[in-house]
Amino acid sequence: MQGQNPRRTHADMTPAVNLTAAHGPGAVRSRKPAYVDLLPPCNAACPAGENIQAWLALAQAGRHREAWEALVRDNPLPAVHGRVCYHPCETACNRGELDGAVSIHAVERFLGDSAIAEGWTPAVTAAESGKKVLVVGAGPSGLSAAYHLARLGHSVEIQEAGPVAGGMLHFGIPAYRLPRDVLAAEVARIERMGVTIRLNRKVDDLLAAKTAGGFDAVFVAIGAHVSRHADIPARDAAKMLDAVSYLHDVSVGDAPLLGRRVVIYGGGNTAMDAARTARRLGAEEAVIVYRRDRAHMPAHDFEADEADAEGVKFRWLTTIKDFAGQSLTIERMELDDKGRPVPTGEFETLQADSVVLALGQETDSGFLRAVPGIAFKSDGTVMVGPDMMTGAAGIFAGGDMVPSERTVTIAVGHGKKAARNVDAWLRGQVREEPAKHRVADFALLNVPVFFDVKPGEQGMLEGAERLDGFSEIVGGLSEAAAQREAQRCLSCGNCFECDQCFAACPEQAIRKLGRGRGYSVDNAICTGCAVCFEQCPCHAIEMMADEGVRP
pLDDT, mean of residues 219-234: 78
Dihedral-angle region of residue 153 (phi above 0 means left; psi in -120 to 50 means alpha; beta otherwise): left
- What are the C-alpha distances in Å from 340 to residues 211, 466, 540? 49, 35, 45
Q: What is the pairing mode between strands 318-324 and 327-335?
A: antiparallel
Where in the chain is CATH 3.50.50.60?
132-226+364-426, 228-361
Where in the chain is CATH 1.10.1060.10?
42-121+460-486
Per CATH, which fold does 228-361 belong to? FAD/NAD(P)-binding domain (3.50.50)
3-state secondary structure of 273: helix
3-state secondary structure of 342: strand
- Tell which residue, 459, 416, 476, has the closest CA to residue 71: 416
Q: For domain 10-37+495-545, is the CATH number 3.30.360.10?
A: no
Alpha-carbon torsion (76, 77, 78, 79), positive or negative:
positive
Q: Kind and range of the H or E element at 397?
A: strand 395-397
486 close to 462: Cβ distance less than 8 angstroms: no
pTM: 0.89
Burial (0-12, 13-18, 19+ Cβ within 10 Å), 224 = buried
- pLDDT band at 136; cut points 50, 70, 90: very high
Tens of pLDDT, residue by residue over 252-291, are 889 999 999 999 999 999 999 999 999 999 999 999 999 9
- pLDDT band at 237; cut points 50, 70, 90: low
pLDDT at residue 7 greater than cutoff 60: no
Distance of CA 57 to the CA centre of its chain: 19
- What are the C-alpha distances in Å from 216 to residues 129, 134, 156, 525? 11, 8, 10, 59
pLDDT at residue 2 greater than cutoff 50: no
Q: What integer pLDDT is reported at residue 88 of this predicted model? A: 96
Where in the chain is CATH 3.30.70.20?
10-37+495-545
CATH architecture of 132-226+364-426: 3-Layer(bba) Sandwich (3.50)
Q: What integer pLDDT is reported at residue 15 of this predicted model? A: 35
Burial (0-12, 13-18, 19+ Cβ within 10 Å), 438 = middle
pLDDT at residue 8 greater than cutoff 50: no
- pLDDT band at 223; cut points 50, 70, 90: confident
Which residues, at least 6 apart from 354, have a Cβ–Cβ distance to it below 8 Å? Answer: 239, 240, 241, 256, 258, 259, 262, 263
CA distance 144 to 159: 14
Tens of pLDDT, residue by residue over 392-408, are 999 999 999 999 888 99
- What residue ranges in 439-540 does DSSP mark as E strands? 510-512, 519-521
First-residue to last-residue Cα distance in the chain = 47
pLDDT at residue 509 greater than cutoff 90: yes
- Tell which residue, 193, 146, 192, has the closest CA to residue 166: 146
| Percentage of residues of the chain with pLDDT beyond 90 | 74
| Percentage of residues of the chain with pLDDT beyond 70 | 91
Q: For domain 42-121+460-486, is the CATH number 1.10.1060.10?
A: yes
Tens of pLDDT, residue by residue over 175-209, are 999 999 999 999 999 999 999 999 999 999 999 99
